[in-house]
Amino acid sequence: MNSHLILIKLGGSTLDNTESIRQLAHRCQFFRAKGYPLILVHGGGKAINRVLELQQLQSSFIDGLRVTTPEMMDVIEMVLSGRVNKMIVRMLNAAGLSAFGLSGVDNQLLQCSPINSQLGRVGRINHINPTLIQTLLATQQNAHLGIIPVISPVGVDEHGQALNINADWAACELAVRLPAKQLIYLTDTPGIYDGDQQPLARVNRQQLFELITKKIVTGGMLAKVNAVIHALDQGVNPVRICSALPSESGGGALCTLCVP
C-alpha cells in the first residue's frame, strides 16, 4: 500500500490563502484519481505568530526552529490542532474529499523527546505509531474513495506532555518511516533559490549542502532543506519543494526537484 504513498506538507502563507487550499484540493483529487494514497501534514507559523502577538508572547528562533516555552506551547497546540487543522479539513471536505484531522498526540502518533533545553518544548520524533494512519490509508485502496489524514505537527513525550515539532521535520519523518514514495513541500516560494536569488529547477544532495555551507539557505528554509537531505538519505526520492500560491500567469506551480 505505502509503495505509492505521497506525503504533502502544506505551509507558509498558503494557509491564509483560500485559493491555495482549493488548489490543494484539486491536487489531492488528481492523485486520488490516479490511485495514489495521500497524507497531508501542515504547519501554521503565521497563524501562531498572530495569536502569540495578541498574547504578548515574543518568539525567537534557532536554526529555523521556534524556541517554545510552556505558555507558547498551549497557544501552538490550540492554533495548529484546532484552528488550522480544522480549516484544512473543512475545505477539503467541501471540495468532495474525505479528510480526517488529527495531531501527533492522537494515539501517540508522534512520540517525541525535547531536542535540547535551549529550544524548550520543541520535540524530536523518536518513534511513530502507524496504527491509526495505516487504518486510514487502508480506506484509500479504491481510487476516488477513502479518508485522507490531515496531521498537525504536535507530538507527545513519555509523560504525556505536548511538544512542538517543526512541520517540515514531521513531514520528513513520516515520509521516511511509513515510508512514502514521494514527499512534496507546498510553500509560498517557488522552490529553493541560488545565490543570485533565482529559483533552482533541480538540485542534488551535495548542492543542498553547499547552499547551507555558503549560508544561501537560512531561517525557515534551513530547517526545510535539512529535512529534505535527511529524507533523501533515507530513501525518499524524489522530494519536491513547490509554490502553492495561485499562479498569476496560469503556467502552473514552480518547483525545485531534489534528488540524491
Residue in the block written with cell 538519505: 233
Catalytic site includes residue 45: yes
Q: In the chain, what's the furthest Cα-to-Cα distance?
A: 51
Please identify which of the residues 104, 168, 181, 220 carries the catalytic annotation. Answer: 168
Please identify which of the residues 11, 12, 43, 191 carries the catalytic annotation. Answer: 12
Catalytic site includes residue 96: no
Burial (CB count <10 Å: 0-12, 13-18, 19+), residue 168:
buried
Please identify which of the residues 9, 64, 106, 120 carries the catalytic annotation. Answer: 9
Give the Cβ contact number of residue 55 at 10 Å.
Answer: 12
Tell whether omega for the bond before 238 is within 30 degrees of 0, i.e. cis. yes
Are 99 and 89 within 8 A, CB to CB?
Answer: yes
Task: Transcribe 1-37 into DSSP letters.
Answer: -GGG-EEEEE-GGGGG-HHHHHHHHHHHHHHHHTT--
Are 237 and 257 within 8 A, CB to CB?
Answer: no
Segment (H or E) for 183: strand 182-187
Enter the C-alpha cell of residue 174.
513520516
Segment (H or E) for 47: helix 45-54
Catalytic site includes residue 215: no
Read off the DSSP letter of residue 122.
B
Please identify which of the residues 64, 104, 181, 224 carries the catalytic annotation. Answer: 224
Please identify which of the residues 44, 45, 101, 191 carries the catalytic annotation. Answer: 45
Active-site annotation, residues: 9, 12, 45, 168, 224
